[in-house]
Amino acid sequence: MSKPLCIALFLLLGFGLQAQEVLRSNTGAPVGDNQNSKTVGEYGPVLLEDIYLIEKLAAFDRERIPERVVHARGAGAFGYFEASKDMSEYTLAAPFQKVGQKTEVAVRFSTVIHGKGSPETARDPRGFAVKFYTEMGNYDIVGNNLPVFFIRDAIKFPDMVHSLKPSPVTNKQDPNRFFDFFSHIPESTHMLTRLYSDYGIPKGYQYMNGSSVHGFKWINKKGEMVYVKYTWVSKQGEKNLTVKEAAEQQAKDWQHATVSLFTDIKEGRYPAWDLYVQIIKAEDIHSFDFWPLDATKHWPEDKIEMIKIGTMYLNKNPRNYFQEVESIAFSPGSLIPGVEPSEDKLLQGRLFSYFDTHRHRLGPNYLQSEVNRPKMQVDNYNSDSYASSRNQNFENADVNYQPSSRAQLTDDNQYRANQQMIKQAKIGQKKISKTNDFAQAGEFYRSLSKQDQKNLISNLAGDLGQVKDKNIQKTMIGYFYKADAEYGMRLAKALGFSQKDFMK
């Protein structure tokens, strides 16, 4: 029997499951579905009434004090974005209205899983967050250096991070734990393939691209809507480290990425990134063999055009790291007129979770600190509590409500949420139909050079080889085999499996 046939046969076989405890909510209610959030229809938005989801995320947001639960280690800088294309046909968003328009920005790069004092040579996704200080308020594009993510639904996020963080028993990160988790999450195959390539260890923050990961909605003056995804392309080029190079760098200076970014800006070598968008018309969103609002999926450039709309330049270092980098707060929910969230299930959970995390970590009035507050005067009646400095107009202090004789809203309808028709949709918890968990992982594998493929296999085998449970190893091999037969077979060989092992 050939190896491909053996592995294919293995994929049809299941493994015996151990008796498991019943998963319950904080109030003791049995959990019916821990993989899918409650949505309006199969592809609709997530509902606030999903109490289990909200409570799960709220508990997760408060697990660390005061270090960020994720993205704890980071570096920041400031500069500006200059638009090179008028996108007013598609959106009201202030930074993209006319050629030559400049907008101040603040940027934070980070590692995702590892702690604040961790080395920047570790294999990990990198955060890529940009805050636009626009005349219509602050707009954040919060993403990563890789264009996809491990999971497609926010309900899985706390569990994923728990598996990747140190064990609560040994206090050590353990491949046995996170591959146990990912062996039950086939949608992670694409992200794992990218992460275990050399893109998993960027040479420096200025040498990596960025992606919004999620799709968003752009709304124009007519109320017309399109879906959009952002990509930052480094003008310094993408440069990564092999495992050997990372080890050599760590022996010299494991804070190299922070130092390199700071030094380049200080010495006038200002890093820059071109910003591209991809646009899908609303009527075309279902025309692909994957769901474009699935965060585990890349929008292929040969099918969805990349449009350059401007360039970001970083030319200023922080004056005080704590006040300007540690205290800066980004959220995919920091939106301005012309941009709205899409129905992406992972994004929908992040809209709540990021704001909630900041309130826990920095306090309820974190948006009033200098680095976080908008450039214009903010008038509303969200006041008091810790460190509040808003609403200092004492002459009118007696009126702290609206509607009132003193305060009114604009009559401009363009600032209202875009209307969306959802017909005959059922509210429930359901996995999307177009999962297509493996195709793009295979496409990415085949796009790599022979040397990069060799490095990917070696990097994966290095961590997966530490997993003691052979069934978990076999399951992961099966996922990668489904992505590409050669990919799975090479990994199986690297892990020491023979043909007989898949016939048992």
List residues forming the annotated binding site: 354
Contact 293, 43 (CB under 8 A): yes
To the query of whether residue 256 is one of the catalytic residues in this protein, the response is: no
Task: Report residue 480: phi and psi, to 5°.
Answer: -70, -30
**Chain position carrying tokens 């990747």:** 164
Binding residues for heme: 354
Report whether 363 contacts 387 (CB < 8 A).
yes
> Which candidate in 36, 114, 138, 144 is catalytic?
144
The CA-based angle 8-13-15, given to 5 degrees, is: 135
CA distance 301 to 14: 37
- Greatest CA separation found in the chain? 86
Give the angle subtended at the CA of 274 by the CAs of 122 and 231, to the nearest 5°. Answer: 60
- Asked if 303 and 157 count as a contact pair (C-beta separation under 8 A), the reply is no
Of how many residues is the chain composed? 504
Tell me whether residue 76 is exposed, middle or buried, using C-beta atoms within 10 angstroms of its C-beta: 0 to 12, 13 to 18, 19 or more.
Answer: buried
CB hemisphere CA count around 107 (13 angstroms):
30
Omega within 30 of 0 (cis) for the link into 403: yes
* Residue 71 among the catalytic residues: yes
Residue positions annotated with a catalytic role: 71, 144
